[in-house]
Amino acid sequence: MVDFTLSDEQQSMREMAHEFARKEIRPVAWDYDRDGTWPREILDKAWELGLMNVHLPERFGGPGLSYLDGCLIEEEIAWGCSGIGTSLACNGLATAPIALAASESLQREYLGRLTEAPLLASFCLTEPDAGSDVAAMKTTAVRRGDRWVINGSKCFITNGVYADWYTVYAKTDREAGHRGISCFIVPRDAGVVVDKHEDKMGQRASNTAAISLHDVEIPLDHLVGEENAGFKIAMAALDRTRPGVAAMGVGVARAAMEMAIDYARQRVQFGVPIAMHEAIQFIIADMATKVHLARLATHNAAVLLDQGRRNTLESSHAKRFAADTAMEVTTDAVQVYGGYGFIKDYKVEKLMRDAKILQLYEGTAQIQRLVIAREMLLADRGEVREPATA
């Protein structure tokens, strides 16, 4: 059965997230953007309200919300500010591999920590020479006695400066390509070095760092899942988090569309509000359709996860379409503002800068297309692929 009605609980959760975005995030979002400062106070409040770590199971103190619930929250938070949204959502990416594959005792210790205090964790996959090509990573983990010894550098690490622990991928078999990668939990105090805080174009309230590990020793039991199974753990984790990124794209696009509509109603040219001109109406109509479809694709990808079904294709559909939508709608919103859209006082330009990263992180727009093409061309070779529906 296809039913797009939200339950009463989901509606109140969405309203709560929206109120938080409206009262706590929007009023300060442009200050954080200008200064590139860290929204610690907002994160602490969000943690208190249960807007972080939303998928962590109840047995570890989390709220155990569904993926669809998470998307409802992430859309609202990103409507307030996607930079702050990324800061809030990052624990979800770091913990997804742990929830998927780690031992019960690792889960209890490290997932539990995040529900006991407003701590952060980071997902460390990308390296200077291994972005889209994950299998090309150079970080190594070598077994020495009762320890793993890890060496390497990771870049573009969200919350990297502040994380309490890191989900780190490293080569445990250098000759085996993607089959030689393993996943580990590395506590910050094991010796993780923060090399650089990045100064970014957009989402400036999120923290992005380059980190390195020099002979960092961790216990043998800090291996997540099987040795050499890290690549698939990473891919499966991204299947679970990409709908959340898509939801953020919907939130950013919706915010830009609302601003464009408000502006079009009050800006007068040729004797009437520009909203009366068909040229502007068509732009608004396209924005509305894209936001609507991006949300449907996002919810579809999330609901499949909630049903325990594989969503690789739908996750990439949602992430690619919502991120592209955010970029297109924010760019068009600046266009509706005309020259004023290019001026920082008018605020809409921040959304255009923020949207760009959505097409880059958690798999670029091109990687999503590559996944979609492979799923369509290879996954069900010779078979008619039944469309997965919510």
- Which residues would be at the binding site for ligand COS (CB under 6 A)? 123, 125-126, 132, 134-135, 178-179, 231-232, 235-236, 238-239, 312, 361-363, 367, 370-371
Q: How far is the CB of 363 from ligand COS (least distance, A)?
A: 3
Nearest approach in angstroms of CB 240 to ligand COS is 10
Q: Is-contact 234 183, C-beta < 8 A? A: yes
In DSSP terms, 208 is beta-bridged to: 158
Question: In angstroms, what is the minimal distance from the CB of 158 to ligand COS?
Answer: 7
Closest to ligand COS by CB, 207 or 312: 312
CA 207 – CA 232 distance, rounded (Å):
27
Cα 329 to Cα 290: distance, rounded to the nearest angstrom? 8
* Cβ-count burial 315-336 (b if 16+ within 10 Å, e if not): bbbbbbbbbbbbbbbbebbbeb
Least spacing, CB of residue 193 vs ligand COS, in Å: 20
Nearer to ligand COS, 87 or 312 (CB): 312
Task: Count other Cβ atoms within 10 Å, centred on residue 204.
Answer: 22
Q: How far is the CB of 100 from ligand COS (least distance, A)?
A: 10
Residue with smaller CB distance to ligand COS, 288 or 370:
370
- The secondary structure of 71-121 as a DSSP string is HHHHHHHHHH-HHHHHHHHHHHHHHHHHHHHS-HHHIIIIIHHHHHS---E
Q: Which is nearer to ligand COS, 115 or 368 (by Cβ)?
A: 368
Name which of 238 and 252 has its Cβ closer to ligand COS.
238
Q: Which residue is nearest to ligand COS (CB)?
A: 363
The distance of closest approach from Cβ of residue 327 to ligand COS in the complex, given in angstroms and rounded to an integer, is 17
Place of tokens 């009762």: 146
**Cβ at position 123, least distance to ligand COS in Å:** 6
With CA atoms as reference, report the closest residue to 67 among 328, 357, 356, 314.
314
Amino acid at position 304, single letter: L
User: Smaller CB distance to ligand COS: residue 49 or 135?
Assistant: 135
267 DSSP 8-state letter: -
Which residue of the set 24, 314, 349, 362 is catalytic?
Answer: 362
Please state, in angstroms and as integers, the Cα–Cα distance from residue 238 to each residue in 136, 225, 233, 352, 359, following that order. 18, 16, 9, 24, 14
d(CA 336, CA 259): 9
Considering beta carbons, is residue 62 or 97 the nearer one to ligand COS?
97
Which residues, 6 or more positions from 234, have their beta carbon under 8 angstroms from its beta carbon? 97, 125, 134, 169, 181, 183
Question: What residues does 182 pair with on adjacent strands?
Answer: 170
Contact call for residues 305 and 228 (beta carbons, < 8 A): no
Output the smallest distance, CB 190 to ligand COS, in A: 22
Contact by Cβ (8 Å): 215, 196: no
Residues 127, 171: Cα–Cα separation, whole Å: 12
Q: Is 175 a catalytic residue?
A: no
Identify residue 365 by its one-letter amino acid code: A
Q: Which is nearer to ligand COS, 98 or 125 (CB)?
A: 125
What's the gap between Cα 10 and its chain centre? 21
Catalytically annotated residues: 362
